[in-house]
Amino acid sequence: MDDCILPVMNTGLRGVDVASSKICDVQGKKGKLIYRGYLIEDLAKNAGFEEICFLLLYERLPKKQELEDFSLSLKQKRKIPNNIFSFLKTLPVKMNPMDVLQIVTPLLMQTDQTIGEPGIENALFSAENLIAGIATITAAWDRIRNNRPVVLPDDDLNHAANLLYMLNDKKPDDETARFFDVSLVLHAEHSFNASTFTARQVASTRAHIYAAISAAIGSLSGALHGGANVRVMKMLKEIGSVEKIDAYINSILSSKGLIMGLGHAVYQTDDPRAIILAPMSKRMGEIAKQPLWYELSRELEKKGKAAFQAKKQKEIFTNVDFYSASLFYAMGIATDLFSPVFALSRVSGWAAHVIEEQYATAAPKPSLYRPGAEYVGDYCGPDECVFTDMNNR
């Protein structure tokens, strides 16, 4: 029997299942996002970020004492070595924060004696080290590049509130801290997106978790992935006022461009995370006395959807980046920190995937990722090229 010839799919693996996972389910048609069996709406309403980290890493919600112990462990790991601060001070202040984060994250290994040692307990220690340390690195770099003194972590604050404190040298009010905590919950995991796939691919080689997470950060730094909400904020600033929305939409549609934040590779409904973020963006704008960005977003969403429907006879839906941009901006977070904030949340999901890739019991021998490719080079016709020495080329 002839060998079965599979079709080549130049689709970025969209629609192709490459592995099984117990971590997350994204049901695009139904607009459902599920972490370890729990709907994102229930988690955002009832759980904090530390609780979500525990769920993703340990496959269940923690008991009270377990959560207290886990939160304490993260707090202890926030205190990164002084030589990392010293290294940050040697970097050019104009460097992109995502590039800095990718460079510096592996330095967290120096406080981890478990590197190279097998066992899921060691991997979990490393995961906690990354979750805690990446947040401190992000805040420290923002302070250093702005010629401000580094603010050390405050053990009285949870993960979200502490990050805002380290950024601003001011404890956030309870409402702002809760909104930020929810946003970290919403960004913690999203199945096999580009950066998660990167982390798992690296982990499949049996590289250590710091290598996998650093690679994932590199993937997230791309404008089409973690940089999407940066482009949303740039778009809102370009529009500038509600009165200019119609002209902007007409310009975009006539040039076959994109309205950033509308449309998603998976969801065929509004992203459930966007639905949760929208009212927080509205309220945060009121707190910060910056209502414009939410007002622009809401009107742009309404008119953009209607214009797309009229022109292309097709619905378009709001994704997570559409309202996270105005929310973070109203919180006073610098636009180029949006992607690092995404990373310091998503590292919990990345770490869970790395651990699953390397220690999952469902598949006794997880496979090294090695996709094929169709060679389309036709440099010398149907035959191989004949090597010519340099003098005769």
The token duo for 272 is 């459930």
Count Cβ atoms below 10 Å from residue 270 Cβ, excluding itself: 20
Q: What are the respective helix, strand and coil percentages of the chain, to the nearest 5?
A: 60, 5, 40
CA distance 154 to 180: 17
Pick the catalytic residue: 264, 270, 271, 353?
264
How far does CA 82 lie from the centroid of its chain?
27
CA distance 171 to 169: 7
Pick the catalytic residue: 208, 270, 321, 353?
321
DSSP per-residue string spanning 6-63: PPP--STTTT------SSEEEETTTTEEEETTEEHHHHHHH--HHHHHHHHHHSSPPP
Q: Contact, 23 vs 349, CB < 8 A?
A: yes
Report which residue type is found at 70: F
Count Cβ atoms below 10 Å from residue 196 Cβ, excluding itself: 24
Specify the DSSP element, H or E, that contains 115. none
Continuous H helices in 146-207: 159-168, 174-187, 194-203
Query: Is 264 annotated as catalytic?
Result: yes
CA distance 152 to 109: 20
Q: Contact, 156 vs 148, CB < 8 A?
A: no
CA distance 209 to 350: 9
Query: Is 225 annotated as catalytic?
Result: no
Report which residue type is found at 57: L
Query: What is the DSSP pairing of strand 24-27 with strand 32-35?
Result: antiparallel
- Catalytic positions: 264, 321
